[in-house]
């Protein structure tokens, strides 16, 4: 027979190994991001980076204004009553 205590321990051990692996992957990714940022700083002049950041901000503001417009339209739209079926008796 399987020992429930032993199964729970092995499940925890497997979960711990999975978490440690994921942490390792995240640490590797962080190094990649830092190297990319360093390369961007080296290759792209500061003024260009500022323009790119401002352009990205403007794009986000454009999306926000579009969402605000449609949210406002939904708010102003009168609620439609639920359509119910009507039985018509035919003789």
Average pLDDT by stretches of 10, the chain with 91 residues: 66 91 84 83 91 96 96 84 79 81
Q: What is the pLDDT of residue 6?
A: 67
d(CA 25, CA 33): 12
> 28 near 20, Cβ under 8 Å?
no
Q: What is the pLDDT of residue 58?
A: 98
5-17 burial, b if ≥16 CB within 10 A, otherwise e? Answer: eeeeeeeeeeeee
d(CA 91, CA 4): 71
Q: What is the pLDDT of residue 47?
A: 95
Q: What is the pLDDT of residue 2?
A: 56
Q: What is the pLDDT of residue 90?
A: 87
Q: What is the pLDDT of residue 59?
A: 98
Is residue 65 classed as helix, strand or coil in its secondary structure?
A: helix
């Amino acid at each position: 027979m399987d020992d429930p205590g032993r199964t729970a321990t092995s499940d925890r051990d497997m979960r711990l190994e999975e978490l440690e692996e994921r942490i390792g992957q995240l640490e590797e990714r962080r190094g990649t991001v830092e190297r990319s940022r360093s390369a961007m700083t080296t290759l792209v002049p500061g003024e260009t980076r500022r323009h790119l950041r401002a352009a990205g901000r403007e794009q986000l503001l454009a999306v926000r204004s579009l969402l605000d417009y449609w949210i406002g339209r939904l708010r102003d739209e009168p609620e439609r009553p639920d359509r119910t079926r009507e039985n018509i008796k035919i003789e």
